[in-house]
Structure 1
C-alpha cells in the first residue's frame, strides 16, 4: 500500500513502486557520486505509489492534488518482475487512463506540449532501454557480485531464506538493519511533513 500523499512541492516527480525503491533512490540521489550538483536532489520529489496494481489510482490522485499543474516531469520506476512486456504494458495503461503522455518504451521521454509535462518510465533491475526481468533486489545482487566480497552472497542468501521463512516477507531496509546488525535513522524524506 502506498504512503499517504501529502502535497506536491517539487516540479520533478519520481513515482516509485514501494518504499524500498523510494529509499534506494533517496540514498542514490543524495550520494557523493551526485555531489557535482548539490541542488540536483533538491529539485526532485519521490512518491511511493504502492504496488504495481496501485499505479493508475495513484496517478489519478496525484493529478488532482494542488500544484500538479506546476509539475514538469514524471518518472515512474517499477520492477520488471517476471514479464517485461507485461510490466511495460501496465505502465502504459496507467498513463493512458490518466491521459498523460505515454512513452513508446522504457527510458524514452514523451512530452505533452499543451500541458508542458513530460513522462518516462524505467524498469528495475537494469533501468535501461533494453529491460530484463527482475527487481530492485536483483540490482542489489548484481552490485554485490561485482564487489570483491561477493562470497558473502551465499551467507546473505541463506540469511534471507531464514528470515522469509520466519517473517514471510522482508524489506530490503529491514534486511540491511538485521544483517549488518545496526540501526540507522534516515534523515531524508520523500515529501513535506
Structure 2
C-alpha cells in the first residue's frame, strides 16, 4: 500500500511501484550518492502502491500545499508481460491526474530495463535483480553456480506441474536466496539493504542514466 501521508522533501520525485521497488531504489541511490555524486540527493523515492494506484497518488500530489516545490516527477514500474501497455498505463494516469505533462521526465522507466538494441523488455525488478547478484558472499556458494542449480530445479518443478508457475522470475530469485544463509528469509528490498546486489553492474547503466537525468534537473 502506498504512503499517502508523505511530505515532499526533495525537488525531484521518483514514484515507484511497491515497497520492494522503493527500498531497492533507495539503496541504489544511496550507493550513487556515496560513490558517484551528491546530486542524487535531489531525488525522493515514493511508493505509489499497485499498478492501478498511480492515478490516485498523482491526484494526491497535485493537491499538496508544498507541490509547488517539485521541479520534476518520474515514474518507474515493472513492464510485466506487456511493456507497451505499461507505458500507456502510466501516460493514462498522468493525463487523469491533470498535472501538467511538462512536469514529468520525458521518458518513464520500466523494470527490468532495455535490451542491447535499446528496446524495453517485458519482465520485472526480479529479472533485473537476478542479473546483478553479487558473485559470492563470504563463504556462500558462488552466485553463478547457485543460479544454474536453481534454474535446473525450477525447470524440473515446472515440468511436474499441471500448469506452469506464473511468476517464474520470483520463484527463481527466491530459490537463489534460499541457497544462502544471509538472504534466505529476505524480500528483494531487504536483500538490497543486506548487500545482495552488485551496484556497479553494467546491467544498471540505463537505470543510472535515468536517475542522473532526473537528479540533474534540480541543479
| Shared fold per TM-score greater than 0.5 | yes
Q: 1:100 to 1:4 in 2, by over 3 A?
A: closer
Of residues 167, 172, 181 in structure 1, which corresponds to 2:188?
172
Mapped partners of 1:12, 1:135: distance in 2: 24
Q: What is residue 123 of structure 1 aligned with on the other side?
A: 110
Root mean square deviation, CA, Å? 3.3
Q: 1:146 to 1:174 in 2, by over 3 A?
A: closer
Q: What is residue 142 of structure 1 aligned with on the other side?
A: 131
Q: 1:173 to 1:44 in 2, by over 3 A?
A: closer
- Could you tell me whether the CA contact under 8 Å between 1:8 and 1:66 is conserved in 2? no
Alignment of 1:1-193 (within 5 A): 1-31=1-31, 35-38=35-38, 40-102=39-101, 112=102, 117-119=103-105, 120-126=107-113, 130-144=119-133, 149-153=143-147, 154-155=149-150, 160=174, 171-173=187-189
Mapped partners of 1:10, 1:134: distance in 2: 30
Mapped partners of 1:159, 1:35: distance in 2: 27
How far did 1:3 drift?
Answer: 2.3
TM-score, length-scaled by structure 1: 0.69
Query: For 1:77, what is the secondary structure of its paired residue?
Result: strand
Count how many residue pairs are aligned between Structure 1 and Structure 2. Answer: 160
- Could you tell me whether the CA contact under 8 Å between 1:10 and 1:44 is conserved in 2? yes
Q: What is residue 187 of structure 1 aligned with on the other side?
A: none
Query: For 1:67, what is the secondary structure of its paired residue?
Result: helix
Q: What is residue 167 of structure 1 aligned with on the other side?
A: none
Task: Please say which of residues 19-28 and 154-163 is displaced more in the overlay.
Answer: 154-163
The answer to which structure has the higher strand fraction is: 1
How far did 1:174 drift?
Answer: 5.2
Mapped partners of 2:173, 2:71: distance in 1: 43
Unaligned stretches of 5+ in structure 2?
A: 137-141, 152-170, 178-185, 197-219
Mapped partners of 2:44, 2:172: distance in 1: 36
Mapped partners of 1:52, 1:131: distance in 2: 18
TM-score, length-scaled by structure 2: 0.62
Q: 1:118-150 deviations in whole A, cap 9, x for unaligned?
A: 434111101586211001000011223988732
